[in-house]
């Protein structure tokens, strides 16, 4: 199973603050452990939303908004991500528990399973069945 592991933003990360050298070293060791274990498929940090844009869809209309974005809770934003390959959500949780705290102070890491091709095909088949008035199955 693949998982997207999202490091949620903080006020510091949105302000463009970089981690200190100790954190960079600790995260480097954690990433090396992920690589050695064959878990890490991809991962990176993201610039703050000040350097991003959002495209809002409304029917056929598209509206582009430049960052920064200021949600009520900054942890609604993402500061970085990994994509991991593991056997279960429980394994992903155990790896996240081993992760150094990615931000000064309190931080949040969210784990989300990625829909694989077989799951997507099943969802598509179910949607087509519903569209045709058939019971999924």
pLDDT recorded at residue 120? 83
Per the structure, the count of domains in the chain is 1
pLDDT exceeding 70 applies to what percent of the chain? 97
Question: What average pLDDT does this structure show over 122-136?
Answer: 77
pLDDT digits (tens, 9 = 90+) for 21-47: 999 999 999 999 999 999 999 999 999
Does residue 35 lie in a domain region?
yes
Query: Residues with Cβ < 8 Å from 104, sequence gap 6 or more?
Result: 10, 12, 19, 20, 23
Evaluate whether residue 72 is within a structural domain.
yes
Q: Which domain holds residue 79?
A: 2-131
Mean pLDDT score of the chain, rounded to an integer?
Answer: 93
Q: Return the CATH number at 44.
A: 3.30.70.1060
Task: Identify the pLDDT of residue 137.
Answer: 55
């Amino acid at each position: 199973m693949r998982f997207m592991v999202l490091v949620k933003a903080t006020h510091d990360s949105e302000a463009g603050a970089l981690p200190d050298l100790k954190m960079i070293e600790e995260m480097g060791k954690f990433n090396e452990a992920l690589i050695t274990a064959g878990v890490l498929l991809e991962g990176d940090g993201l610039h703050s939303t000040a350097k991003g844009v959002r495209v809002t869809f409304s029917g056929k209309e598209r509206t582009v908004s430049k960052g920064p974005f200021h949600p009520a809770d900054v942890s609604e934003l993402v500061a970085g991500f990994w994509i991991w390959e593991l056997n279960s959500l429980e394994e992903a949780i155990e790896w996240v528990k081993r992760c150094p705290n990615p931000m000064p102070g309190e931080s949040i890491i969210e784990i989300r399973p990625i829909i694989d091709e077989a799951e997507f095909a099943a969802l598509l088949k179910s949607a087509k069945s519903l569209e045709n008035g058939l019971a999924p199955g």
